[in-house]
Amino acid sequence: MTDLLVARLRAAGCVFAEDEAALLRAEAGGVRLEDLVVRRVAGEPLESVLGWVELDGMRLRVGPGCFVPRRRTLLLARAAIAASPSTLVELCCGVAPVAALVARARPGVRVHASDLDPVPLELARANLAGHDGAVHRDLFAALPPSLRGQIDVLAANAPYVPTEQIAMMPPEARVHEPAHALDGGRDGLDLHRRVAAEAPRWLRPGGVLLIETSVRQAPGTAATCAAAGLDPEILRDEELDATAVRAVLPAGASPETAATR
């Protein structure tokens, strides 16, 4: 017998229609299932329709109007976990996937997350529930002054798609995710420059800045970090198809000297 739900999803362009049908059925029943299917067939990301995304075995809450964390962001999370931080701040956090994964892996870590958009911040609070976490608006603006010069790891999945390339992104992202979560400016590095310039004022000596980027943009991201007085290296994970820059504040640096750079 033909599975009509699978057929509808396949006709809408869903490559893994059978898997998606099973997930939608597990999340809903009766009339509500039809509501979910209509949203998915209209092109809304499966994760925001379901209300969750799974990363490294952890379910994180997501929803309409939010940037859906991609699997490649695991590179940031794993690099942050490897640094064994006692204090971590996730900038441009969206629903705070890095902070949540680090908090799970490193009990006792203090995590802070910040984002311009209040919509994903509500979900970030839910994803950090039960951990020693706090959520703030914008980049560094609302962070407690007591964190200045004390942060072990700054992690940022700041938007890095060049403006002219937004039109070439899949509709699931281009239509259903907020533009400010995707658009990195003319060369995709606008937010990377802002984050790198401020990072030395907030990191402790020996602290680490982690920025997700692309293969093409990684040299530019690394250069912005070097210009801010950090020591950068490019990280690449082929299995995740992920690229990031890891930049360390030299041990002899201090917030006072960094602020004068």
pTM of the entire predicted model: 0.92
* pLDDT for residue 258: 52
Are residues 99 and 126 in contact, defined by beta-carbon separation less than 8 angstroms? no
Measured CA to CA, the distance from residue 204 to residue 209 in angstroms comes to 11
Distance linking the first and last C-alpha atoms of the chain = 69
Return the pLDDT at 30: 67
**Domains, the chain, ordered by start:** 4-61 (no CATH), 71-259 (3.40.50.150)
pLDDT digits (tens), the chain, 261 positions = 468 999 999 999 999 999 999 999 998 866 689 999 999 999 999 999 999 999 999 999 999 989 999 999 999 999 999 999 999 999 999 999 999 999 999 999 999 999 999 999 999 999 999 887 888 888 898 899 999 999 999 999 999 999 999 999 988 899 999 999 999 999 999 999 999 999 999 999 999 999 999 999 999 999 999 999 999 999 999 999 999 999 999 987 765 555 444
3-state class (DSSP) for residue 152: strand
Q: Are 174 and 149 in contact (CB under 8 A)?
A: no
Q: At residue 245, what are phi and psi to the nearest 5 degrees?
A: -115, 130
| Nearest-angstrom CA–CA distance, 161 and 217 | 9
Question: How many residues are there in the chain?
Answer: 261
Give me the pLDDT at residue 64, please: 92
CB 133, CB 107: distance < 8 Å = no
Strand duo 203-213 + 242-248: pairing: antiparallel
Amino acid (one-letter) located at 91: L
